[in-house]
Amino acid sequence: MTKNRKAPVPQMVDIARLAGVSKSTVSRALADSPLVNDKTKALVKKLAIEHNYRLNVAARNFRLKESLTISVLLPTAVGADWRLSDPFFLELLGAIADSVDAHGHQLLLSRTSPQDGNWIKSFVEKRNADGLILIGQGSQHKAINELAKNYKALSVWGAKLEDTMHYPVVGTDNELGGKRITTHLLSQGRRRIAFLGLRDSPEIMQRFAGYCLAHNEFDLPWHKSLVVEDQINPSPLQTQLKKLLGLKSGCDAIVASSDVQAMSAIQSLQELGLSVPRDIAVVGYDDITLAQYYNPALTTIHQDRKQAGNFLVENVLSAINGGETTTRTLDPELIVRDSA
């Protein structure tokens, strides 16, 4: 590209000269300050457009010490390199992106290992965003909570914990979700219900609590042998499932901790020659878009991402402005389809 000896990109001072006013007036006019005479304002704006003037955002941000940018930290899938953690997180990301955009901000995307509490902190300290949204607490509640004491512009998708929380959380009522879906299975006569995915995430723990609660309400015991700690990785899953099915009293239903896990389980079961839901019912969690297209269509718990995205963004933005912040618990809607 050839270099012009003139200003390739006009600055405020250029517009000021053209309009016969000062830089400040241009700045004010462009920011729609009520201080400026309407006539001058109109003139300045016209000139700015005519000369294709663009505000130097970097300069503005530097001067104002704000970036109009929100960081979103997405957990990496266990083990693998992204591998698309899970469509649910990405659908949630989409909702967040829309909301951030609607509020006139930008979205900086980063990934992080779910373990890495320190990384979050060092990330914050770079302060190249005005606020931070964490998608999932993972096992990092303590670290996050500690950070939150000094850093307020924080908003987290995840579970509300008993512990004193220094940060606001948005999430569905996991206990209720776990209970609803288990109740659904129990009331269909399922009695040997396996619970998949007791990882160290608080969300799953709460769903498990709901699973127990449902059993209690039916005056039925739950069985430790039916509780399986699992990774998304399919080969161990297949093994685990075989173990479940090999139990003396067998297993007639499975509560998975995500739709992806449910799909993976269903496929394994079918490979083992079992029919879902006839031989064994399987329920998911999340209600990702693909859940309805699955075969059999997945019975699952819907997590409202649009609402979640809005709440998450409202929380950071409010915190950035020194305002209040609200922990929100969304309704875990049971979606009954064909898999259970």
| From 13, 42, 84, 247, residue interacting with DNA (rule: CB under 7 A) | 13
Interface stretch with its own copies, choices 43-51, 75-83, 172-180, 219-227 (CB under 8 A): 75-83
Q: Which does 106 bind (CB under 5 to 8 A by kind): DNA, its own copies, none?
A: its own copies
Q: Which does 13 bind (CB under 5 to 8 A by kind): DNA, its own copies, none?
A: DNA
Task: Specify the residue for token string 């004491």.
Answer: 149
By CB under 7 A, is residue 42 in contact with DNA? no
| From 20, 79, 94, 323, residue interacting with its own copies (rule: CB under 8 A) | 94
Q: Which does 20 bind (CB under 5 to 8 A by kind): DNA, its own copies, none?
A: DNA
By CB under 8 A, is residue 321 in contact with its own copies? no
Interface stretch with DNA, choices 33-41, 202-210, 231-239, 243-251 (CB under 7 A): 33-41
Are the C-beta atoms of residues 17 and 25 closer than 8 Å to each other? no
Interface stretch with its own copies, choices 17-25, 36-44, 87-95, 214-222 (CB under 8 A): 87-95
By CB under 7 A, is residue 45 in contact with DNA? no
By CB under 8 A, is residue 87 in contact with its own copies? yes
| From 22, 289, 321, 326, residue interacting with its own copies (rule: CB under 8 A) | 289
Interface stretch with its own copies, choices 60-68, 180-188, 189-197, 312-320 (CB under 8 A): 60-68
By CB under 7 A, is residue 25 in contact with DNA? yes
Closer CB to its own copies, 82 or 218, in the complex: 82
Contacts of 261 by beta carbon, 8 Å cutoff, 6+ apart: 196, 197, 230, 232, 237, 284
By CB under 8 A, is residue 267 in contact with its own copies? yes
Which residue in 264, 338, 211, 260 sits closest to 84, CA to CA? Answer: 260
The three state secondary structure string of the chain is CCCCCCCCCCCHHHHHHHHCCCHHHHHHHHCCCCCCCHHHHHHHHHHHHHCCCCCCHHHHHHHHCCCCEEEEEEECCCCCCCCCCCHHHHHHHHHHHHHHHHCCCEEEEEEECCCCHHHHHHHHHCCCCCEEEEECCCCCHHHHHHHHHHCCCEEEECCCCCCCCCCCEEEECHHHHHHHHHHHHHHCCCCCEEEECCCCCHHHHHHHHHHHHHHHHCCCCCCHHHEECCCCCHHHHHHHHHHHHHCCCCCCEEECCCHHHHHHHHHHHHHCCCCCCCCCEEECCECCHHHHCCCCCCEEEECCHHHHHHHHHHHHHHHHCCCCCCCEEECCEEECCCCC
By CB under 7 A, is residue 21 in contact with DNA? yes
Are the C-beta atoms of residues 301 and 181 closer than 8 Å to each other? yes
Interface stretch with its own copies, choices 15-23, 28-36, 40-48, 292-300 (CB under 8 A): 292-300
CB 93 → its own copies: shortest distance, Å?
8
User: What is the binding site for DNA (CB under 7 A)?
Assistant: 11-13, 20-25, 27-28, 30-31, 35-37, 39-41, 55-56, 59-60, 62-65
Binding-site ranges for its own copies (CB under 8 A): 1, 52, 54, 56-59, 61-62, 65, 67, 69, 72, 81-85, 87, 90-91, 93-95, 97-98, 101, 106-111, 125-128, 150, 152, 234, 260, 263-264, 266-267, 270, 288-290, 292-297, 306
